[in-house]
Structure 1
Amino acid sequence: MIIILIRTLLLYLFVLVTIRLMGKGELTELQPYEMVIMLMIAELAALSIEDTGRPILNNMVAIITLLFAQIIISYINLKSQWARRIICGKPSILVHRGKINTEELKRLRININDLMEQIREKDYASLADVEFAILETNGELSIIPKANKKPVTAEDLNITPAYENLPVSLIIDGHIHYENLKIAQCSEHWLMDQLKMYQIDNYKDVLFCFLDENRKLHVQKKDNQ
C-alpha cells in the first residue's frame, strides 16, 4: 500500500511537471496529436501505478520521450505551414454566407442537428443569425454573425472610450500579492490606508481585494469578520 502511495505521488508530480514543460497551449483546446500524447502519458502513468513490479523509471523515460516528441512536432508546426496542414489539418467552413455546406458536413460526418446545437452553444438562436461557421483544427466552432447581428461597438457609435487598465488582484484570502502591487504601481502603505477606509485594520481579514480597470478599489471581507 505504501509503495502504491509513493509511486502515485511521484508519478503525479512527474506528469504535472511534464505537462507544464509542454506549455500553456496544451492546457486549452488540444490538437489531435496533442490529445494522443496526453492519452499516452496518462496510460503510461496508470500502468506504473497498477503494476508495482514494473520499474517506474521505464515509464518515466517513455513519458520524457513523448515530451520531446511533442516539443519537436510543435516546433515543426510553428515553422512549416505544409507540416501544420498534414499534422493538424485545416479549418472547415460548415456554413458559407448563411448556407449549410452539406459536402463538408458529409466529409466530416457531422449531422445538421449537431451543427445547430453548436451554433446555439455560441449564443446564436438560429442559422439565420450566422454568416460563416468554421470548424477549427482543434474541434472548436467559430461563428461569424451576419452584419445586423453583430454586437454594437463604441466605434459604431463614434465613441472614444477611456483607456482601461488591467484588473489586478491585490489581496486573496488574507494574503497580499506584492508582485501585483508592483504591477499596479501601488505601495503596501497605500493599500493599508485604503483598507482603513473600509474599517479594516488587518489585511488578513480581507477575502478579496482588487483594482478594476478604472483603478477603483474593491474590497470584500471574510464572512467571519
Structure 2
Amino acid sequence: MFTVLIRTIILYLIVIVSMRLMGKKQIGQLEPFELAIAIMISELASLPMQDTRIPLIHGIIPIVTLLVLQTILALIQLKSEKMRSILSGKPSILIKSGKIDINELKNEKFNINDLMEELRLQGYYDIEDIEYALLETSGQLSVIPKTKLSNVTKSDLNIKAKQDSLPVTLILNGRINKENLKIINKDETWINTQLKQNKISSIKNVFLALMDSKGKFYYQCYENKDNK
C-alpha cells in the first residue's frame, strides 16, 4: 500500500512538471501534436500506478522521452514557419465578407450548427455582420466583425470607417515570407525600404514584421522590445 502511494506521488509530480514545461496553454488551446503528447503522458503515468509489477523507471523514461520530443518540435516550429504549418496546420477562413465558405466547412468537418453556436457564444447572431470568422489551429473560432458594426461609435456617429483586413505576416524570425508579400502586392524592395525607414540594418534583426489590420507596417526586433 505504501509502495503504491509513493509511486503515485512520484508519477504525479513528474506529470505536473512535464505539463508545466509544455507551456501555459489550456487543453482547448493545445495544438494536435501537443494534445496527443498530453494524452500519452497521462496514459503512461497511469500504468505504473495501477500495476506495481511494472518498474517505475518504465513509466518515467517514456514520459521524459515525450517531453523531450515535444520540446524539440516546439523549437522547430519557432524556427520554421513551414514546419509549423505541417505540424499544426493553418487557420481556416469559414466566413468572409458575411458569406460562409461551404467547401472550407466540409474540409474542416465543421457543421453549420456548430458554427452558429460558436458565433452565438461570442455574441454574434447575424452572419452578415461578420467580416471574417477563422477556425484557428487550436480549434477555437476567432471572429472579426464588420468595422461599422464593431461596438457603437463609428456607425452611430455616421463616421466613415475603412474595413479592417486580416493581418499578414511579412517577416518571422529574420526571414521574409515571399508568399505573403505577393498577397499584399508588395516585393522585397518595398520591405527593405520599410526597414530602412525604421532604421533597421538587417532583416535578421527582425523577430516579427507584419501588415496589421489597419494596413500599417508593424515590427518588433530581437534586441529590444520596441515596436511600431
TM range (shorter): 0.5 to 0.7
Is 2:54 the partner of 1:66?
A: no
Contact 1:19–1:26 (CA under 8 A) maintained in structure 2: no
Contact 2:135–2:142 (CA under 8 A) maintained in structure 1: yes
Which one has the largest radius of gyration?
1
Unaligned runs of 5+ in 1: 158-225
- DSSP-derived class of the 1:93 partner: strand
TM-score of the aligned structures, taking structure 2 as reference length: 0.64
Give the Cα–Cα distance (whole angstroms) in 1 for the partners of residues 100 and 113 of structure 2: 12
Q: Read off the aligned partner of 2:4 and give its amino acid letter.
A: I
The answer for the alignment partner of 2:127 in structure 1 is: 127
Is 2:76 the partner of 1:87?
A: no
The answer for the alignment partner of 1:21 in structure 2 is: 21
- DSSP-derived class of the 1:137 partner: coil
* CA distance 1:121–1:64, change in 2 (3 Å): same
Q: Identity over the aligned pairs, expressed in percent? A: 49
The answer for the alignment partner of 1:218 in structure 2 is: none
Task: Note the 1:124-203 alignment, pairs <5 A.
Answer: 124-152=124-152
Task: Note the 1:105-116 alignment, pairs <5 A.
Answer: 105-116=105-116
Alignment deviations for residues 19-60 of structure 1 (CA, whole Å, 9 cap, x no partner): 122222466710000000000000001111111100011110
Give the Cα–Cα distance (whole angstroms) in 1 for the partners of residues 123 and 130 of structure 2: 11
Give the Cα–Cα distance (whole angstroms) in 2 for the partners of residues 48 and 118 of structure 1: 40
CA-CA distance at 1:125 after TM superposition: 1.9
Q: Which moved more, 1:27-36 or 1:136-145?
A: 27-36
What CA RMSD, in Å, does the superposition of the two structures yield over aligned residues? 2.0
Is 2:30 the partner of 1:9?
A: no
Alignment deviations for residues 167-197 of structure 1 (CA, whole Å, 9 cap, x no partner): xxxxxxxxxxxxxxxxxxxxxxxxxxxxxxx
CA-CA distance at 1:9 after TM superposition: 1.2
- DSSP-derived class of the 1:24 partner: coil
CA-CA distance at 1:113 after TM superposition: 0.8
* CA distance 1:47–1:126, change in 2 (3 Å): same
Give the Cα–Cα distance (whole angstroms) in 2 for the partners of residues 104 and 28 of structure 1: 21
Contact 1:77–1:83 (CA under 8 A) maintained in structure 2: yes
The answer for the alignment partner of 1:42 in structure 2 is: 42
* CA distance 1:2–1:153, change in 2 (3 Å): farther
Contact 1:98–1:132 (CA under 8 A) maintained in structure 2: yes
The answer for the alignment partner of 2:216 in structure 1 is: none
- DSSP-derived class of the 1:131 partner: strand
Give the Cα–Cα distance (whole angstroms) in 1 for the partners of residues 147 and 17 of structure 2: 46
Number of residue pairs matched? Answer: 156
Unaligned runs of 5+ in 2: 158-228
* CA distance 1:123–1:25, change in 2 (3 Å): same
TM-score of the aligned structures, taking structure 1 as reference length: 0.65
Contact 1:132–1:143 (CA under 8 A) maintained in structure 2: yes
CA-CA distance at 1:142 after TM superposition: 0.2
Give the Cα–Cα distance (whole angstroms) in 2 for the partners of residues 81 and 54 of structure 1: 41
Contact 2:95–2:101 (CA under 8 A) maintained in structure 1: yes
